[in-house]
Amino acid sequence: MGDLTAPATARQRGTAYDVVVRPRRSLVRSTILSVVFSAVPLAVALVWVALPLRLWTFVATVVIVVAVLVGIVFVRLGTAFIGIDPAGITVRGVVTPQRRVARDRVHSVVLATTYGTAVERTTRELVAVDATGRPLFRLRADVWGDEGIDRVVEAVGARVSDDARPVPAREFARRWPASRAWYEQRAAYVVVGALAVVAVAGLLLVETVGLLGV
């Protein structure tokens, strides 16, 4: 964690930032390796199985759509950044829309260490809140790196509340529900589950048609 490319100054979208933080290099590498060693063989296998069953058009369409989505993720990885200037903070995430927060709205910064299924695998999280306690933006060290989190805290210069005691990710989400990204909402889980069911059902249908020789 913490290996990131973060030049001291840079210009993004016509704005000169005092501090720019980018996603960790290892995140980009792991994403590329995951696609190469898992998604690509799976796509080739699906097309190969579908050819004799005359379903190759449908499967090829699905593969192309997935490839486009993967390409979009790669583009977002290359353009994601956190830019801090005297007037505000700009956050362009990998899968979240770009947003800008006026610097004087940041009243304090909450730092926490969270874990998922195993307490040994923890990650640092940052939540910037306004004077009413409303979350303004949230950053995770597994995307931006520990060094990136530290640089943001230093650059913002707000009061810091640091809880080093690891807490479950669900408890942290309940504590700051408004900081959840769209993909952490319950509706997103339902949609992903439904798509997974459809995909599995489609594969089973293809396999059944092949066995029956239809």
Each residue's pLDDT tens digit, 1-22? 334 333 333 344 456 899 999 9
The whole-number pLDDT of residue 25 equals: 77
Q: Please, what is the average pLDDT of the chain?
A: 77
Task: Answer whether 13's CB lies under 8 Å from 34's CB.
Answer: no
Stretches in the chain below the pLDDT threshold 70 = 1-15, 28-29, 31-59, 178-179, 181-214
What is the pLDDT at residue 35?
A: 66
| Nearest-angstrom CA–CA distance, 111 and 138 | 10
Q: What residue spans of 55-212 are helical by DSSP H?
A: 56-79, 141-144, 146-156, 169-175, 186-212
Q: Tell me if 108 sits within 8 A of 161, measured CB to CB.
A: yes
Strands, sheet with 81-84, edge to edge from the N-terminal-most edge strand: 19-21, 81-84, 88-92, 99-102
What pLDDT score was predicted for residue 32?
66
Q: What is the pLDDT of residue 3?
A: 40
The residues near 165 (Cβ < 8 Å, ≥ 6 apart) are: 113
143 Cβ neighbours under 8 A, 6+ residues apart:
23, 24, 27, 93, 94
pTM confidence score: 0.68
Q: What percent of the chain has pLDDT over 70?
A: 60
CA 195 to chain centre: 19
Question: H or E stretch including 24?
Answer: none
DSSP state of 106: -
Structure tokens at 172: 């942290």
Number of neighbouring beta carbons within 10 Å of residue 163? 11
Q: What element of type H or E holds 82?
A: strand 81-84
For the segment 76-112, what is each residue's pLDDT rounded down to a tens digit? 888 899 999 999 999 998 888 899 999 999 999 999 9
- Please name every residue paired with 159 in a beta bridge, in sequence order, or none if there are none: 108
